[in-house]
Structure 1
Amino acid sequence: MAVLTAVQEESEAFREVGGLTQRLRGKPYYVAEGSDAKYPNVVHREIDRNNIQSGEKVRDVIEHWQPELLVLCGIAGGINGRADVSVGDVIIPPYIHYCSFAKLSSQGARRRYIPFDYPSINLHQDYVAPLRDDHSWLTDTLRSELPEGCQPKVHVESLVAGDKIYGDPDSEEQQRIVQEYDEAVAIDMESVGLCRGVAASRNNPQYNPRLLIVRSVSDIIDDPQNDESRKLWRPYACAIASHFTWRVVTDIVEMEPDPRRTPEVAA
Structure 2
Amino acid sequence: MTDTHPTVVILTALPVEYTAVRRHLTGTIEERVHESGTRVECGRVSDAPWTIALAEIGEGTQNAAALTERLTAWLAPRAVLFVGIAGGLTDDLRLGDVVVATRVYAHQGGKQSPDGFHARPRAWDASHRLGQTARAALRGGEWSALVHFKPVTSGDVVLNSSVSTLSEQLKHHYNDAVAIEMESSGMALAAHLNGAVETLTIRGISDRADGQKHLADAGGSQPRAAERAAAAAMAVLRKQEPFGGGAAPAGQPATRHGGDHIDFSGGTFHGPVTGKVVNGPRDEG
- On whether the aligned pair clears a TM of 0.5, the verdict is yes
In 2, the alpha carbon distance for the partners of 1:239 and 1:41 equals 20
- Shift of the 21–4 alpha-carbon distance from structure 1 to 2, 3 Å rule, reads farther
Equivalent residue number for residue 17 of structure 2: 10
1:248 aligns to 2:236 (yes or no): yes
Contact conserved, 1:91 with 1:216, CA < 8 A, in 2? Answer: yes
The one-character-per-residue Cα deviations of 1:191-213 (angstroms, maximum 9, x if unpaired) are: 101001101213xxxxx211111
The one-character-per-residue Cα deviations of 1:10-35 (angstroms, maximum 9, x if unpaired) are: 001100123386242544011127xx
The one-character-per-residue Cα deviations of 1:198-248 (angstroms, maximum 9, x if unpaired) are: 01213xxxxx211111011001112x4232113320010011011111111
Amino acid at match of 1:211: T
Amino acid at match of 2:93: V
* Aligned-residue RMSD, C-alpha: 2.6
Equivalent residue number for residue 223 of structure 2: 235
TM-score scaled to structure 2, two decimals?
0.74
In 2, the alpha carbon distance for the partners of 1:189 and 1:200 equals 19
Equivalent residue number for residue 107 of structure 1: 115
- Shift of the 98–190 alpha-carbon distance from structure 1 to 2, 3 Å rule, reads same
In 2, the alpha carbon distance for the partners of 1:106 and 1:187 equals 27
- Shift of the 42–182 alpha-carbon distance from structure 1 to 2, 3 Å rule, reads same
In 2, the alpha carbon distance for the partners of 1:25 and 1:97 equals 32
TM-score scaled to structure 1, two decimals?
0.79
SS in structure 2 at match of 1:237: helix
- Shift of the 15–21 alpha-carbon distance from structure 1 to 2, 3 Å rule, reads farther
Equivalent residue number for residue 104 of structure 2: 96
Equivalent residue number for residue 43 of structure 2: 32
Alignment of 1:37-186 (within 5 A): 41-81=51-91, 84-114=92-122, 117-125=124-132, 127-135=133-141, 153-186=146-179
- Shift of the 249–170 alpha-carbon distance from structure 1 to 2, 3 Å rule, reads same
The total of aligned residue pairs comes to 233
- Shift of the 26–226 alpha-carbon distance from structure 1 to 2, 3 Å rule, reads closer
- Shift of the 108–124 alpha-carbon distance from structure 1 to 2, 3 Å rule, reads same
More helix by share: 1
Q: Which has the larger radius of gyration?
A: 2
SS in structure 1 at match of 2:234: helix
